[in-house]
Structure 1
Amino acid sequence: MGDKQHPYPVQVVWTGNHGSGTQTYQGYGREHEIRVAGKPVIAGSSDAAYRGDGSKHNPEDLLVAALSSCHMLWYLHLAAVAGVAVTAYVDDAAGSLLDRGNEGRFTEVVLRPCVTISADSDPDVAKRVHEDAHHACFIANSVNFPVRCEPRIVIESV
């Protein structure tokens, strides 16, 4: 099977011009829209700590969400292949960002998925599948900081 390139075109449109553009640092909004053809628009802004609208998604939220959802989707696939029946999955993921003025960077993201499996599934296999999912995740393979996974397996009560 050969290599394949998959394009992901995204349009980001700044909507924060409040009349005078970026004449002053305080005078413009950080609001923007993230548009992908055929999908709902995502309302974005910068983090409230950076003069943004805290009620909108910011790039940092979206990066942590991308890592979490990528891991989850790989996990569900690999669990099904391994014969583990997942009945619920909730990840309380958290990212850590070190802010050094104009040189901020993520230092790590920790995924904390709580996975509920059927009573007839093997919890040891369910836990091991997380390691395979971590190595398969395209997003985790693309970042330059650690992505740790601290899974919890819950067996569904009958």
Structure 2
Amino acid sequence: MDNPAEVNKDARVKKMMLILSKATIDNVYACFILANGARMEGIEAEIFFTFFGLEAVQKKKLEHLHVATVGNPAMHIPTLLGGLPGMESFATNMMKKEMEKLDIPPVGEFIEILEASGAKLWACKLAMDMFHLEREDLVDEISDVITVGDFYNRAQGENTHLLFI
């Protein structure tokens, strides 16, 4: 590929729309790092938290996210071993320690950073209703609770990219 600095400015990404449907710690950080990277490059970034992805922005759950050790092919451990008591906690703590070494903030702090950078954080109305959640259950940084249609309407425009995580 060409040097990114030489890419036609009219063809550059202008907006990243990320959809987070799972709140495993690896998915949450992947989403947040991509959104933060977009903001650092001057690209608009919006995250739509739906289904289990809502756990990443629930006040009672965001500090208790974990690595999924069962059924995760990237773990490179047998499924049976991943299901042993303590394995999930062990893998989660190892990942958190490695992220801390790289100065990657905890989830709650990362949410604050994203909001301060201008990223928009949306909660899915359908998932909120399905899980019987109220706006008060979510972190204050959530911009609003919106429908899927509202989210798609926000994705209109040239050079907008949607990414499902």
Shorter-chain TM-score category?
Answer: under 0.3
User: Which protein, 1 or 2, shows the higher relative CO under an 8 Å CA cutoff with sep ≥ 6?
Assistant: 2
Q: Higher strand fraction: Structure 1 or Structure 2? A: 1
- TM-score w.r.t. structure 1 length? 0.25
